[in-house]
Amino acid sequence: MKEDLLSEVVEVEKALADLLETEDIKAKEMLDNLRRDSGLEISKEQKRLEEALNLALAASVSRAEKRASDILEKADATASRLERTSDEVLKGTIRKHFARILP
């Protein structure tokens, strides 16, 4: 009877060891799958963020170009207006400023 009990305990231990090995293999496979899936998700998110960055950068460049164009247009208009200003008007303006500067 002791031998039967001992034999049964050994069989249970062997079955438990086999079960642990099977569960260990399953756990490793699950981890590998999770790593692969996580890597894919990270790659997708990185690509999405890069595309969003490129769109934001393009929009910023476009706004900056528009603003620069507006500034240049205003500068050209001011330069044209100043070129058409007569010498007499300019002399009068300078005299007014000199009056404020000189005592």
pLDDT tens figures, 51-93: 999 999 999 999 999 999 999 999 999 999 989 989 888 888 8
Distance between CA atoms of residues 91 and 103, nearest Å = 19
pLDDT attached to residue 103: 67
Q: Where are the alpha helices (H) located in the chain, listed in sequence order?
A: 2-84, 87-101
The average pLDDT across 24-29 equals: 98
> Does position 36 have pLDDT exceeding 80, yes or no?
yes
Q: Which amino acid is at 50?
A: E
pLDDT attached to residue 62: 98
Residues of the chain with pLDDT > 90: what percent? 70
Q: What is the mean pLDDT of the chain?
A: 93
